[in-house]
A and B are shown apart, each in its own frame.
Chain A
Amino acid sequence: AQTVTQSQPEMSVQEAETVTLSCTYDTSESDYYLFWYKQPPSRQMILVIRQEAYKQQNATENRFSVNFQKAAKSFSLKISDSQLGDAAMYFCAYRSVNTGGFKTIFGAGTRLFVKA
């Protein structure tokens, strides 16, 4: 069974600085998708970024980028030029590529604080 581990329960960053959130996962599959979801205080989870495992190039979305290390099964999220609105809980998630792989596995989350 697949597992997702986020070893940092909380992180803190100064506004305008860069922070990296860690995520490791375990799977025997060779093809899959990885996601970072953001849960702000409003509770509604939204997608931050998505990475396809067969693509070597790291995904980027504006100030958000990932460092995907397939061999190490690591998928970290880097937030550049941190803003107050980035303060939230961040969840790393894994999803199988197969049609039957409907289940998304979530990590326990990392709460990010942004200091003004």
Chain B
Amino acid sequence: NAGVTQTPKFRILKIGQSMTLQCTQDMNHNYMYWYRQDPGMGLKLIYYSVGAGITDKGEVPNGYNVSRSTTEDFPLRLELAAPSQTSVYFCASSPGGGGANVLTFGAGSRLTVL
């Protein structure tokens, strides 16, 4: 059981380039999330999805886009990368949205924008 798989693990981008962080889960979870983790800060929610075809913004959505065409996949797109997007990105999933639901995380993707 792979859980939540993110790719790539590391990436260096130049300012203005675009890229997609891939996330897939094999637990048939309805909810999926993208977080970013900056040094000394907690995780901040970028986007989330409550099911295939449904996505919504979190706390820090500017500069990012997502899609959810299947239950398994939830890619995060960075358009016109900026140094402020240098961070570690985590994808997570949960069976539902209620408080009892525990998040299952991927291993993270470290992105550096130069």
Give the interface of A toward B (CB within 8 A): 4, 9, 31-33, 35, 37, 42-47, 50, 52, 91, 95-109
Contact = CB atoms under 8 A, between A and B. Distances in A.
A9 B40 contact: yes
B97 A99 contact: yes
Contacts of A108: 40-42
Given A95-B99, A98-B98, A46 B105 contact: yes
Contact of B42 (A31, A91, A103): A91
Contacts of B42: 4, 91, 105-109
A10 to B, nearest CB: 11
Contacts of B82: none
B107 A35 contact: no
Contacts of A42: 107
Interface of chain B, main secondary structure: loop
Nearest to A106: B42
B107 A43 contact: yes
B31 interface: yes
Interface string B40-70: 1111010010100000001000000000000
A103 B58 contact: yes
Nearest to A50: B102
A37 B88 CA distance: 17
B108 interface: yes
22 contacts: A32-B99, A33-B100, A37-B103, A43-B107, A43-B108, A44-B108, A45-B90, A47-B103, A50-B102, A91-B43, A95-B101, A96-B99, A97-B100, A98-B98, A101-B98, A101-B99, A102-B31, A102-B97, A105-B42, A106-B42, A108-B42, A109-B42
